[in-house]
Amino acid sequence: MVLTSSQICSMLFREVGNGFYKCTTCDKQYKKGNGYTNLLIHLRCNHDNYEQEAEEASRRQNPLRLHLVSKRTRDLYGWIEWVVCDRLPFAFVERRLTRLNTTLSLVSEDTLSKYIGLIFELLELRVARELPAAFGLVINGWTSSNRHYVVVFAVFDSDSTGITGGGVGTDYFDDLECSSRRFLLLAFSPLEVEEDLGVQSQYDLIADTLSRYNKPWSAVKLLVGDNCSVNQYIGRKEGAIPFI
């Protein structure tokens, strides 16, 4: 396990107050300042084996070698969960009353936005990795407060869902409750031009979604849609995509 700078310093220094930290090896004291630069400079100049010492200290504190999540990471997750699940603006984390009444460590709007973006990128990579070479698309639309959204799901059968009980025996039912069927949310987006609810805008959204996951139209083997004009347009444009 590779230790971060903060983990190394937490293992090899002890806080003594007023922003000063004492090296647990030589007892010299240094002011931490912004970040861990001062502490790391001391380690690099005076303790050649400081990384090994930090790893040994880590093993002593965590003999089972469990993956420990820092309080800062847990707090960031708490902020993200709060804002996303309650559909709050990012600026919520900087409101005075919010900070006054929470036990989570403080976070800025920019930091929250940064980590939500990183999570989004990781999820995109995971979805792209899990998509098979061939799949179906399920398309649906929804209008709320004069804003139109389109949702795009990928649907495919998978033998690796980890759910037991499915199969091809007499108890197998080919419906939405099939334990081998998976749905992956690919997009839930407002149309780029909200005034244009035509077939071209919806077609462009589907095409952009496929390109984001590096999938060609030829990977789409069926499409479930609820808009007749969109279905016909895509069918004519792309050729022989079966519709349901």
3-state helix/strand/coil string of the chain: CCCCHHHHHHHHEEEEECCEEEECCCCCEEECCCCCHHHHHHHHHHCCCHHHHHHHHHHHHCCCCCCCCCHHHHHHHHHHHHHHHCCCCHHHHHCHHHHHCCCCCCCCHHHHHHHHHHHHHHHHHHHHHHCCCCEEEEEEEEEECCEEEEEEEEEEECCCCCCCCCCCCCCCCCCCCCCCEEEEEEEEEECCCCCCCCHHHHHHHHHHHHHHCCCCHHHEEEEECCCHHHHHHHHHHHCCCCEC
Residue pLDDT, tens place only, 49-82: 888 888 877 777 654 454 567 788 889 999 999 9
Q: What is the pLDDT of residues 218-240, one digit of tens each?
A: 898 888 876 677 777 777 765 55
Q: What digits encode the pLDDT tens for the residues 139-197?
A: 888 777 777 788 899 999 876 444 333 444 444 445 555 567 888 999 887 765 555 55
pLDDT band at 114 (very low <50, low <70, confident <90, very high): very high
pLDDT at 165: 38
* Fold observed for domain 131-238: Nucleotidyltransferase; domain 5 (3.30.420)
Alpha-carbon torsion (183, 186, 188, 194), positive or negative = negative
Q: Where are the domains of the chain?
A: 5-61, 71-127, 131-238
The reported pTM is 0.57
**pLDDT mean across residues, the chain:** 80
Q: Which residue would you say has higher pLDDT here, 195 or 108?
A: 108
Report the pLDDT value the prediction gives residue 162, as an integer from 0 to 100. Answer: 40
Ranking 95-104, 109-118, 154-163, 200-209 by mean pLDDT, the lowest is: 154-163
The pLDDT value recorded for residue 174 is: 52
State percent of the chain over pLDDT 90. 26
The mean-pLDDT minimum among 85-89, 102-106, 116-120, 143-147 falls in 143-147
